Structure 1
């Protein structure tokens, strides 16, 4: 029953036209050659699965930085935020989450706060698992500021087969932690630049769940053990 519930969820509105297109092609394939139609059925089901938009239960404790994407933590490094944001070259801890074509691609806000800046930059479509994808690929960046003044940078990075970054928020928008704010089609990555002093609570290779997995605790006074 749990497996069935995980599949039978609403789909993101960006997926509606794709599902219709896949279904229409499937009908044509059945008319052309019956066995080929079943290939279309499989692809249509995959399309439904790709655009799924499940509800998530987001931790609400102050200071937590929540994963904005489903996927695998494939990189934790020190890097400067995208230059188009105008935040200078001070390096911050960057947690990168790679989404393959089977992950849910709906993106969520890592913190509660106000969107101070939205910056889109066109670019290449390199494999999103590569380090240089953060610099060279098409991307859309947000600066979100919490009530205490701490800022988080979250960047949607297009991937090898991704050809559309969708961001549904504008500057001045107030977001809740875990609130949906965009989607990427069809395989990509999210970079989260943590506030100064915040230590990641995830490890490379760990699977993250959008809106639920805690990436860092930026105000905890508890000792960290690396």
Structure 2
């Protein structure tokens, strides 16, 4: 288990701030040790909560050209047929994964391939499960084409708490299945758009592990 690079500076700054708060309380209330102990306990819990959010466990993906693996830890909240209007402009199976603040927020490639399209969209911060969040919230769109020519589209979507999306992709880059391509802070969602011929292997409400859970099989 390691700490993700997106959280290292924040954690150092937070540790300094919380340490200063504890020192001030200790010096300001020398005759009331209970106040110091209470403050110390609260700040330790707060630091540990933020620390766990940025954990980055090692993931071993069982590579399979037919499999579409989950791009994130979380819970499946949408499985439906829809029209992808931004880039693919055809009917697709949409699978959406909601990431709560306690999930690992590393985003991983569901398939192997080359990035054929990428775009960042500024937007709102509706709650991630809101039906309009995938078209109105701050988001990115990533399309990766597999070696067999199948295009898979993903969206990183910021939620009400997630105010920063990070991505590590550019058009023309090659990615392996399960390789990290982004990170979203503090609660968010990832949508995956697959061909109608894909065989879905998950159910609504099912928990997923990024880079490990098989969402679907491609022809």
The two structures share one fold, judged by TM-score above 0.5: yes
- 2:91 equivalent to 1:91: yes
- 2:20 equivalent to 1:14: no
Report if the CA contact (8 A) 1:26-1:38 is conserved.
no
Aligned to 1:218: 218
SS of aligned partner of 1:27:
helix
Q: Which moved more, 1:93-102 or 1:128-137?
A: 128-137
Aligned to 1:53: 56
Report if the CA contact (8 A) 2:69-2:216 is conserved.
yes
Report if the CA contact (8 A) 1:74-1:97 is conserved.
yes
Unaligned runs of 5+ in 2: 26-35
Unaligned runs of 5+ in 1: 1-8, 220-226
After TM superposition, list the pairs within 5 Å mapping 1:107-126 onto structure 2.
107-126=107-126
Aligned to 1:74: 77
Aligned to 1:42: 45
C-alpha distance in 2 between matches for 1:205 and 1:196: 21
Q: Which moved more, 1:73-82 or 1:161-170?
A: 73-82
Per-residue deviation, 1:196: 3.1
After TM superposition, list the pairs within 5 Å mapping 1:172-191 onto structure 2.
172-191=172-191
C-alpha distance in 2 between matches for 1:91 and 1:217: 17
After TM superposition, list the pairs within 5 Å mapping 1:131-142 onto structure 2.
131-142=131-142
Per-residue deviation, 1:82: 5.2
Per-residue deviation, 1:79: 2.2
Report if the CA contact (8 A) 1:165-1:185 is conserved.
yes
Report if the CA contact (8 A) 1:23-1:41 is conserved.
no
* 1:181-220 per-position Cα deviation (integer Å, ceiling 9, x unaligned): 110011100000012311211000000000000000012x
Report which of the two has the higher share of strand.
2
- 2:34 equivalent to 1:31: no
- 2:66 equivalent to 1:63: yes
Report if the CA contact (8 A) 2:65-2:112 is conserved.
no
C-alpha distance in 2 between matches for 1:77 and 1:196: 10
- TM-score, reference length from structure 2: 0.92
C-alpha distance in 2 between matches for 1:182 and 1:168: 6
Aligned to 1:147: 147
Per-residue deviation, 1:60: 1.4
RMSD, matched Cα: 1.1
Aligned length: 208
